[in-house]
Structure 1
Amino acid sequence: MVVNGRPLKRAKKRVTADLCDFLTFPAGAEAGLVGPFRANVRAFLSRHARLPPPSSVLSPTAAPHLLTWRVSFRVGGPKGDGEGDEEPGRKGEEGSPPPPPLIVDLDVVEEDVARSRSVYCDQCRVVGWSGHPVCGKRYHFIIRSDSSAASHVNQTCARCGSLLQDFDTRCTVCSYEMSADDLEDWAYLQLGDSTHLLHGVIHTNGYGHLLRVNGREGGSKFLTGRDVMGFWDRLCKMLCVSLVDVNGAAG
């Protein structure tokens, strides 16, 4: 499948030994990207992004100007030593199989600014960057909390609150037909969810905003705020981000 001219890998069974370590990513030659952010983010998505399951992605019906990819990471643990070993090297109790690997999913949402409900960036205005030219794209980097990730962020009816079937705009409980405004409101609620462990936004000019960082106190079972912040710092460095405002970060 090709989206915006870039081929994407189809979702498949995750082999955790092939995933990068969230606690050390990036490593090796990948840390040496030297192009501008707009080129580096495309290279990052081309190498690592996969299409997420339909139930966990922002519905294209709700917001066709928000394109979503998913990059999965394992948390710690060396890659398996044995040939064909599919799991990170975490050991269980003697005589028992190893525990399931810990996986962190990074959702990258590319927002088409020209079709967005908000062409101008409020965060840029607050920090004094309103004089910058308006960029055509902005990228949201989101790690959902454990609870919201487990719920697959199913869309709910705007009238009665019942869960809707995937990509279905009519509620089977109250027969309410979701309007285009209802669908778009739901999509932006997902972006602005205050329970995200990480939410950063970067414009294609390389300037961005760290909107939220949370760790164990914010809903994560195994990531600390320092783990999340360290990942964000390394990711920004790899992508050659010019400057990130952190005044809006909460946690």
Structure 2
Amino acid sequence: MSGSGFAEVVVELRRAGCVFAEDEATLLIEAAGSDPRRVDALVRQRVSGTPLEYLLGWVEFRGLRVGVRPGVFVPRQRTAFLVDEAVGAIARDATRACVVDLCCGCGALGLSAATELTARGCDVELVAADIDPVAVACARENLAPISAPVFGGDLFDALPADLRGRIDILLANTPYVPSARVADLPPEAREHEPLAALDGGADGLDVFRRVAEGAATWLAPGGTVLVETGAGQVDTACSVLITHGLQPRVAESEEHYATVVLGTRDR
């Protein structure tokens, strides 16, 4: 590609199949500081399949600009519905809430939930955790401004013991793509994002099962775990929650094309 004008960038992106070519062209040119050589380099990477968010260094999520880096799962816009449900699960007159973002990736879910709950006068204790060191480092940068700690480790093993039995909201954006379907994902996901953040095992619910089991003891009385699933996984997911003594509920959003399964511990 020679030249870096807006129109030419749009043509290149459209040719590569980018649906929102005009928007992406604007963002890439801004990210390059309008330097023609830098624009060309970014466009070549985007055309080759590199996720836009990696090139920009951030993703917009629920009105927040959240930092991302190569090798970290990019939060999907449909997952905003999970945060909707999480915020809605906290009473509007609540003055305090303990929120944990498990499998946090870049920390976008916990950050947005804490930001929105704080804005309505709720004092939020936010803790995040992930097994991937790259994700932990990324989340620490994003959550540093609100002084939220991020721990590295395997699910609940990463959490401080004093959280046991007092988590009000447990956000767990677990992988839920069945192993046999990972190959069907868009190239920019399967070739660039960590497999552990995508592959949910034989039926897509391997990690969910472990989260549900732990949630039964880590949640506070009345606390809720929220996980995004595929529509065809709802019945199995609800059965798993019931097995662990949690009251299941299913929330669906046509706007976001999202399904969220919630499990609440009895008070």
TM range (shorter): under 0.3
Q: Which has a greater percent of helix?
A: 2
TM-score when normalising by structure 2: 0.23
User: Given the two structures, how large is their TM-score scaled by the length of structure 1?
Assistant: 0.24
Higher relative contact order (CA 8 A, sep 6+): 1
